[in-house]
Amino acid sequence: MTMRFTDQLCIVTGAASGIGRATAQRFATEGAFLVLVDRNEAELASVTAGLPRAADHSVEVLDIADQDAVSACVSRALERHGRIDVLCNNAGIASSKGSALEQDLAEWDRVMQVNVFGAMLFMKHAGAAMVEARRGAIVNTASVAGIRAGAGGNAYSASKAAVINMTQTAACDFGAYGVRVNAVCPGLIETGMTRPIFEKARELGKEDRLGARCELRRYGHPDEVARVIAFLASEDASYVTGQALAVDGGNTASLNLPGMKV
């Protein structure tokens, strides 16, 4: 295992499950100290207990859409470690898949609060410390739903498109200070958010059809996304910024219309 993050401080939001959990495991295995952020205290404790040097990591139970809580979290990380090397904005929630005629303002508000404003707040506060240090890397988790229609509900898709654009604009803001900002756009990955899709497919005996329209003809796993996040956060990607990298088995490589693939 390459130790690309030895003694670096990495904040991972949404660390209690799915891609966030896999990202925490990847960074810890490569030597990082972690600040693990989520609303699920019990699952955060479970994640932390299974990491190398478990006692060296810290847990923050908070709502990422709460600006005061985010600011305090970043301040505590700086007090404990003196710097922030990496920020991974993984936290997110889904939305219903009703049509544009069935949309609910309260749902849109909550999805935007978490998926967009939460990432923005952590970029603002952690990014300030990176700018002062003139180094750092930020990786936001967007989605293929932010690239094209059909991969999520309207509110979720709009929020992930916003994350992609926000990644690009932040890369422009931070670039002169040596801070890189990129995003990953996962396709169909088995996580807590997508579990109902997988459970339904297994119930119907159709698990083999999940991901069938991807060029690789399969769905993905959280660690496959975590490995790309780690690449973008590492010095291996030292000249990469402002990019939204699809991790989707090739799903966005074609029009992907029904009947186009055998």
Residue 202: enclosing H or E segment and its boundaries? helix 195-203
With a cut of 70, which residues of the chain have pLDDT below it? 1, 192-202, 204, 206-212, 255-262
Provide the pLDDT for residue 96.
84
Residues 171 and 178: their CA atoms lie apart, in Å, by: 10
Is 1 contained in some domain? Answer: no
Helices then strands, each counted (H, E), the chain: 8, 7
Is 209 contained in some domain? Answer: no
Is 262 contained in some domain? Answer: no
Provide the pLDDT for residue 16.
96
Is 92 contained in some domain? Answer: yes
Terminal Cα-to-Cα distance of the chain (whole angstroms)? 38
Q: What is the 3-state secondary structure (H, E, C) of 212-251?
A: CCCCCCCCECHHHHHHHHHHHHCHHHCCCCCCEEEECCCH
Q: What angle do CA 21, 25, 28 make, to 5 degrees?
A: 135
Return the CATH number at 52: 3.40.50.720
Q: Judge contact between 230 and 85, C-beta under 8 A.
A: no
Is 144 contained in some domain? Answer: yes
Provide the pLDDT for residue 197.
67
Q: Judge contact between 51 and 73, C-beta under 8 A.
A: no
- For the four alpha carbons of 185, 97, 91 and 176, in that order, the dihedral sign comes to positive
Number of domains in the chain: 1
Residue 201 tokens, joined: 């497919």
Is 206 contained in some domain? Answer: no
Could you tell me the pTM of the whole model?
0.92
Residue whose C-alpha is closest to residue 156's, from 220, 103, 101: 103
Within 10 Å of residue 199's Cβ, how many Cβ atoms?
11
Is 255 contained in some domain? Answer: no
Place of tokens 């809580």: 69
Residue whose C-alpha is closest to residue 140's, from 157, 158, 115: 115
Q: Judge contact between 89 and 12, C-beta under 8 A.
A: no
Q: Judge contact between 46 and 121, C-beta under 8 A.
A: no
Give the single-character DSSP code of 65: T
Provide the pLDDT for residue 251.
85
At residue 53, what is the residue type? Answer: R
Residue 25 tokens, joined: 């495991």
Q: What angle do CA 117, 186, 101 make, to 5 degrees?
A: 60
Is 116 contained in some domain? Answer: yes
- Strand 9-13 and strand 33-38: the pairing is parallel
The residues assigned a catalytic role are 156
Q: Judge contact between 92 and 65, C-beta under 8 A.
A: no
| Structural domain of 35 | 9-191+221-250
